[in-house]
Amino acid sequence: MTTVEPAPAATLTTRHRDPRDQWPEHARRLYDHLVALYGEDDMLPTLAASWIAHQRSVNTQKSYARCFRIFEEFAREHGAHPMVVKFPLADTFRLYLETTPTWIRVKGGRRGEMVRAGKPYSDASRANALSSASSFFTYLDVVSDEGVKNPFDAVQRPVLDPDYSPTPGYTEEEWTKLLATARDHHRVAAYRMRAYALLLVLYTCCLRIDSLLNARVEDLGYDKGHRVLHLEKIKGGGRKTKPVPPVAWDALQGYLDGRTEGWLFCTASGGQLDEPAVWRLLQSLAKRAGLPLRGPHGTKGDAITHALARPDARPDKIQRWAEHKDSRTTQRYNRRKELLDDSPGYALAADLAGALEYGDAPGADR
């Protein structure tokens, strides 16, 4: 019997892969940014990027990476390494966020030129920045053998009203006008079908914009008599199948024009369409339609509001459609409760007006 000698073992160098190759986009970008500032020998770039990669949601990865840059810049300007910040400086970061102008683009300046001349950070932005920094130190505590005390544990954060949204809501009539503008009057005729299909799917499937932009054509399918979209990346991670209504499906097929692979919504070169592009699209369409300016993040609130306003509305079904675990979350998206024409004061005033006209107390027999 012939003995077969095993092939020479590959060296450790060829066997081992760099874990950083698995990092998502926002972790890699943060790593590159920090390496340029601190060098590869410093642990900050690797730990910060690993912390970003640890977050389940792409939206959280993006938000935390952006907020961490604000904290890192603050610490560096105050002569402190971000990983050794103590409570006094962490609390000063809170005050810094309340008063420091934000970065804005210079009008008429060079491309990408920025200056600190914007309004100070909003309550929500300050809360996100503080939560981001706190999350980073919580991560350091987990990965450290000796433990790390979180300097942000005792830092006060802005109190946010969960029912408040600065995004203006559209009525159903305004949504019809916006969709018609996208289909028939978008400035670039070649992009009209893409804009129309994107808005229809976003609205009728009650989606977050990041979920939709991460979808691919291969995620479209057919299930139990329904045309569906299989979403791999939704808030909090996981998988969700969304039925696509016929009007949205027809618009989607018209836009795809037989394309069977690639990003569901892509650029002219086939690249992934990003959120800034959708923001610009919504701003342009709103101007053309004569509607309040807004971005894509209010779309889900509009869809929930309009669904709950229907006479046959089933809040339990709408909650599942919106992918909310708690019914209170669904109601927070419900802008109907904020509409002026729903004020109970009108009914009270009508009774009072009648009583004053006839000289009777409200509800008295006449």
Give 12-41 pLDDT, tens digit per residue: 455 667 778 899 999 999 999 999 999 999
Task: State how far the Cα of 239 lies from the Cα of 323, in Å rounded to an integer.
Answer: 11
Tell the residue number behind the tokens 């979808």, with chain if given.
Answer: 215
Check which CATH number belongs to the domain holding 269 and give it: 1.10.443.10
Report how far residue 197's alpha carbon sits from residue 31's, in angstroms, rounded to the nearest whole number: 36
322 and 182 in one domain?
yes
365 belongs to a structural domain: no
Q: Please indicate, yes or no, if residue 28 is contained in any of the structural domains.
A: yes
pLDDT digits (tens, 9 = 90+) for 108-141: 767 767 888 888 999 989 999 999 999 999 999 9
For 3-7, 95-99, 102-106, which range has the lowest pLDDT when averaged over its residues? 3-7
Query: The pTM is what?
Result: 0.67
Q: 189 and 277: one domain?
A: yes
Under 8 Å between Cβ of 209 and 278: yes
The pLDDT, as a whole number, for residue 356 is: 86
C-alpha to C-alpha distance for 315 and 321, rounded to whole angstroms: 10
Number of domains in the chain: 2
| Together in a domain, 188 and 121 | no
Domain assignment present for residue 8? The answer is no
In a shared domain, residues 201 and 136: no
Whether residues 107 and 182 fall in one domain: no
Evaluate whether residue 358 is within a structural domain: no
Structural domain range at position 64: 20-143
Of 103, 123, 143, which residue sits at a domain end? Answer: 143
pLDDT attached to residue 69: 96
Q: What is the tens place of the pLDDT at every residue in 184-206? A: 999 889 999 999 999 999 999 99
- Same structural domain for residues 101 and 185? no
Are 148 and 140 in contact by the 8 Å Cβ rule? The answer is: yes
Is the residue at 354 inside a domain? no
